[in-house]
C-alpha cells in the first residue's frame, strides 16, 4: 500500500478527481460516462456492508464488481451498459494500481458479461415501463400517445402502425377494433382496449382539421409525405427516449418499438391468455390460417428470473 497518504481520510471526490485526470486521453463523452459509472458504483458500495464510511480501495474486489454487474443485469440494463460499467471499473482499478499501488490485481479480470440471446423476448422491467409511460406523458402530444399505445397496448408491429389506414380504424365511444397486418399481407381484425382506443381517437380527431390529413388514407402522416414510414416511427421513438434524464436513459437506451410488442405478448400471457389467443392477436398465422404457436413461443419465453422463482417452489 502507498504510505504517502492515509486512505481513511480521503473522500470520494478525491478518487473521482484523480480518476478523471487519468482519462483525459479519451473523448469528453467517454470521460463523462466513465465518471458517472464510478460515482454510481461508489454509491452502491456505500449501501453494502462495510461501506458506510465512503469508498476505500480495499472494497474494490472481484466479488463486489461481479455482484454489482449482476444486479444491473437483474435490473434489465442493456448489454452495452454492462460492458461500459466493466470498462469504467477496469480503468479505475488500473489507475489505482499504477498511480497509487493500492491494488494487486485488476478485480474485473475474469468477469464475463453474458451475451443476450438474439431470439430471446424482450420483457420490460416495471421501471422501464414506468419511464416510457412518463416520457410519453411528458411529451404531451396526441401523436406520441397513439403511437406508443399501438405498440405497448396492442402489440402492433412497426409496419402495422405505419400502414394503418383510416378506413381500417373503427373507434366507438367505448369499443374499438383495428384491421392491421401489412407485413406478409396477413391482415387481421383485433379488438382494442380503451388504452388504445382513446389516444388513437383523440389523435385522429385532432388531425382531421388539417387539410393534409383529409386527403390522406393513412392514420399517421409524415412531414415529407402522406404516410409516416417504418423509419419515421423508429426516429420518433429515438427522439422520445432522447428526452429521458440520465438515470432514466440507462434503463431504456436500447429499447425498440418491437420490444413493446414482445412485452405486450409477455403481459398477455401473464394475464392468462392461451398461446392460441396471443398468436391470433399478434398475427402469427400459418399459410393454412392456423395459429403459428412456435413463433409465439419465441415471444413468450419465460425469463431467467421467472425460472429462478419457480425453482424456489420445487419440493423433493
Domains annotated on the chain, with CATH:
7-100 (1.10.150), 126-311 (1.10.443.10)
- Per-chain mean pLDDT for the chain: 83
Compute the distance between CA of residue 216 and CA of residue 207 in angstroms, rounded to an integer.
11
Model confidence band, residue 118 (pLDDT cutoffs 50, 70, 90): very low
| Residues 29-55: tens digit of each pLDDT | 888 889 999 999 999 998 888 776 778
* pLDDT for residue 290: 60
pLDDT at 238 over 70: yes
Compute the distance between CA of residue 242 and CA of residue 139 in angstroms, rounded to an integer.
11
Do the beta carbons of residue 269 and residue 298 sit within 8 Å? no
Q: Phi, psi (5° rounding) for residue 293?
A: -60, -40
Compute the distance between CA of residue 280 and CA of residue 186 in angstroms, rounded to an integer.
11
Do the beta carbons of residue 176 and residue 219 sit within 8 Å? no
Check residue 174 and report its DSSP letter.
S
Q: Which three cell numbers stand for residue 110?
A: 475474469
| Residues 167-221: tens digit of each pLDDT | 999 998 888 999 998 776 678 899 999 999 999 999 998 887 665 666 788 999 8
| Residues 217-232: tens digit of each pLDDT | 899 988 777 789 999 9
* pLDDT for residue 307: 54
Amino acid at each position: 500500500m502507498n504510505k504517502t497518504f492515509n486512505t481513511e481520510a480521503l473522500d470520494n471526490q478525491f478518487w473521482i478527481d484523480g480518476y478523471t485526470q487519468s482519462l483525459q486521453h479519451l473523448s469528453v463523452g467517454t470521460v463523462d460516462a466513465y465518471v458517472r459509472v464510478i460515482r454510481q458504483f461508489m454509491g452502491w458500495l456505500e449501501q453494502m456492508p462495510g461501506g458506510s464510511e465512503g469508498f476505500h480501495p480495499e472494497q474494490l474486489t472481484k466479488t463486489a464488481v461481479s455482484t454489482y454487474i449482476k444486479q444491473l443485469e437483474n435490473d434489465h440494463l442493456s448489454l452495452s451498459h454492462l460492458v461500459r460499467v466493466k470498462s469504467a471499473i477496469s480503468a479505475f482499478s488500473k489507475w489505482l494500481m499504477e498511480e497509487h499501488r493500492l491494488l494487486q490485481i485488476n478485480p474485473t479480470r475474469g468477469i464475463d458479461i453474458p451475451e443476450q440471446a438474439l431470439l430471446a423476448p424482450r420483457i420490460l422491467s416495471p421501471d422501464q415501463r414506468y419511464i416510457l409511460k412518463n416520457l410519453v406523458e411528458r411529451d404531451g402530444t396526441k401523436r406520441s400517445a397513439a403511437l406508443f399505445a399501438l405498440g405497448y397496448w396492442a402489440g402492433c408491429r412497426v409496419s402495422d402502425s405505419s400502414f394503418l389506414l383510416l378506413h381500417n380504424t373503427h373507434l366507438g365511444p367505448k369499443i374499438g377494433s383495428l384491421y392491421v397486418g401489412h407485413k406478409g399481407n396477413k391482415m387481421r381484425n383485433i379488438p382494442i382496449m380503451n388504452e388504445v382506443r382513446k389516444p388513437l381517437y383523440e389523435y385522429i380527431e385532432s388531425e382531421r382539421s388539417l387539410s393534409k390529413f383529409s386527403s390522406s388514407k393513412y392514420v399517421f402522416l409524415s412531414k415529407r409525405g402522406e404516410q409516416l414510414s417504418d423509419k419515421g416511427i423508429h426516429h420518433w421513438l429515438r427522439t422520445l427516449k432522447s428526452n429521458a434524464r440520465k438515470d432514466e436513459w440507462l434503463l431504456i437506451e436500447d429499447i425498440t418499438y418491437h420490444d413493446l410488442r414482445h412485452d405486450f405478448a409477455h403481459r398477455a400471457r401473464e394475464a392468462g391468455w392461451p398461446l392460441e389467443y396471443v398468436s391470433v392477436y399478434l398475427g402469427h398465422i400459418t399459410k393454412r390460417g392456423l395459429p403459428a404457436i412456435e413463433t409465439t413461443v419465441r415471444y413468450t419465453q419465460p425469463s431467467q428470473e421467472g425460472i429462478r422463482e419457480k425453482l424456489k417452489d420445487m419440493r423433493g
